[in-house]
Amino acid sequence: MRILVAEYAVGGGEGNSVSLLREGKAMLSTLKEGFERMGHAVVYPEAETDFEAAVDKLSKESDAGIVIAPDDKLCALTELIESNTVNLGCPADSIKICADKMRTSKILSGEGIPVPRIVSVEEVERNEEQRYVSKPRYGCASEDIFILNAAKYHKVLSRYNNADHIITEFITGDDISSSIIAGKSSVLPLTINKQFIRTEGERLRYEGGFVPYFIGREAESEIMRISERVVTILHCSGYVGIDFVLGEDGTAYVVDVNPRPTTSIVGIAKVLNYEVPDLILRAKFGTLPMAGDVKTEGRFVFNLS
Question: What's the rounded Cα separation, in Å, for the pair 242 and 223?
Answer: 10
Give yes or no: residues 128 and 224 share one domain.
Answer: no
pLDDT above 70 (res 162)? no
The dihedral formed by the CA atoms of 253, 265, 147 and 122, expressed in degrees to the nearest 10: -50
Give yes or no: residues 104 and 217 share one domain.
Answer: yes
Phi, psi of 211 (to 5 degrees): -145, 140
Give yes or no: residues 102 and 230 share one domain.
Answer: yes
Expressed in angstroms, the distance from the first to the final Cα of the chain is 36
Give yes or no: residues 67 and 212 share one domain.
Answer: no
Q: What is the mean pLDDT of the chain?
A: 91
Per-residue pLDDT reduced to its tens digit, 172-203: 999 999 999 999 989 999 999 999 988 777 77
pLDDT above 90 (res 222)? yes
Region 132-156 average pLDDT = 74
Q: Which residues contact 292 (CB under 8 A, 6 or more apart)?
A: none
Give yes or no: residues 158 and 143 share one domain.
Answer: yes
Give yes or no: residues 44 and 68 share one domain.
Answer: yes
The answer to whether the beta carbons of residues 249 and 174 sit under 8 Å apart is: no
Give yes or no: residues 108 and 72 share one domain.
Answer: no
Share of the chain above pLDDT 70, in %: 92
Identify which of 51, 77, 50 has the alpha carbon closest to the alpha carbon of residue 65: 77
Per-residue pLDDT reduced to its tens digit, 236-260: 999 999 999 999 999 999 999 999 9
Question: What's the rounded Cα separation, in Å, for the pair 244 and 251?
Answer: 10
Give yes or no: residues 191 and 148 share one domain.
Answer: no
Residue 28 pLDDT level (bands cut at 50, 70, 90): very high
Region 23-35 average pLDDT = 96
The answer to whether the beta carbons of residues 188 and 294 sit under 8 Å apart is: yes
- 216 by Cβ neighbours in 10 Å (0-12 / 13-18 / 19+) ranks as exposed
pLDDT above 80 (res 158)? no
Give yes or no: residues 180 and 297 share one domain.
Answer: yes
Q: What is the sign of the dihedral through the CA atoms of 270, 271, 276 and 278?
A: positive
The answer to whether the beta carbons of residues 95 and 78 sit under 8 Å apart is: yes
Tell me the CATH number at 203. 3.30.470.20
Give yes or no: residues 153 and 263 share one domain.
Answer: no
pLDDT above 90 (res 17)? no
Give yes or no: residues 16 and 79 share one domain.
Answer: yes
Tell me the CATH number at 77. 3.40.50.11770
| Domain of residue 209, residue span | 97-113+172-303
Q: Which is higher by pLDDT, 39 or 185?
A: 39
Identify which of 99, 262, 97 has the alpha carbon closest to the alpha carbon of residue 177: 262
Residue 157 pLDDT level (bands cut at 50, 70, 90): low
